[in-house]
């Protein structure tokens, strides 16, 4: 298909979105990610029955925590598609990248960088 999608997205492959834990999403932000999208199979089409529903709940939890810590819920998003839908994946990637660009960089990383510059040393 040779579809293009934003190059600033790093793909982390998991066997099923049910494998994605809350801590994985939080660690991504702690390490400086600007946004995280969890892309799972269509609801009702999970090979393991409920993997994508589990992911959906964890994304909801992550959103709540990110709001509390001041990063903002909108930086995490769950998408659903079927594995053969390449164009749809590219569209989701575009959409997410646009959304994150509008939100700007991860405020935690920005704060960490600023502190590092002030103290002139590593964290």
Residues that bind other proteins (CB under 8 A): 21-23, 26-27, 29-30, 65, 68-71, 107-108, 111-112, 114-115, 119, 123
Q: Looking at residue 1, what DSSP letter applies?
A: -
Instruction: Return all residues near 37 (Cβ < 8 A) that are at least 6 apart.
Output: 76, 77, 78, 79, 92, 93, 96
Closest distance between other proteins and the C-beta of residue 54, in Å?
11
Residues pairing with 80 in the sheet: 40
CA distance 25 to 77: 11
Indicate the residue among 68 and 84 with the shorter CB distance to other proteins: 68
Closest CB to other proteins among 2 and 123?
123
Q: How far is the CB of 60 from other proteins (least distance, A)?
A: 14
Q: Which is nearer to other proteins, 60 or 111 (CB)?
A: 111
As measured in angstroms, the least distance from the Cβ of 24 to other proteins is: 10
CB 17 within 8 A of CB 52: yes
């Amino acid at each position: 298909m040779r579809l293009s999608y934003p190059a600033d997205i790093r793909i982390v492959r998991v066997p099923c979105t049910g494998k994605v834990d809350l801590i994985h999403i939080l660690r991504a932000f702690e390490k400086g990610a600007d946004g995280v999208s969890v892309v799972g199979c269509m609801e009702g089409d999970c090979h393991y029955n409920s993997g994508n529903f589990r992911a959906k709940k964890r994304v909801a939890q992550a959103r709540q925590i990110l709001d509390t810590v001041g990063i903002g819920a909108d930086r995490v998003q769950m998408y659903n598609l079927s594995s053969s839908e390449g164009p749809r994946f590219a569209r989701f990637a575009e959409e997410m990248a646009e959304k994150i660009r509008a939100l700007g960089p991860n405020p935690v990383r920005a704060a960490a960088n600023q502190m590092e510059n002030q103290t002139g040393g590593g964290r």
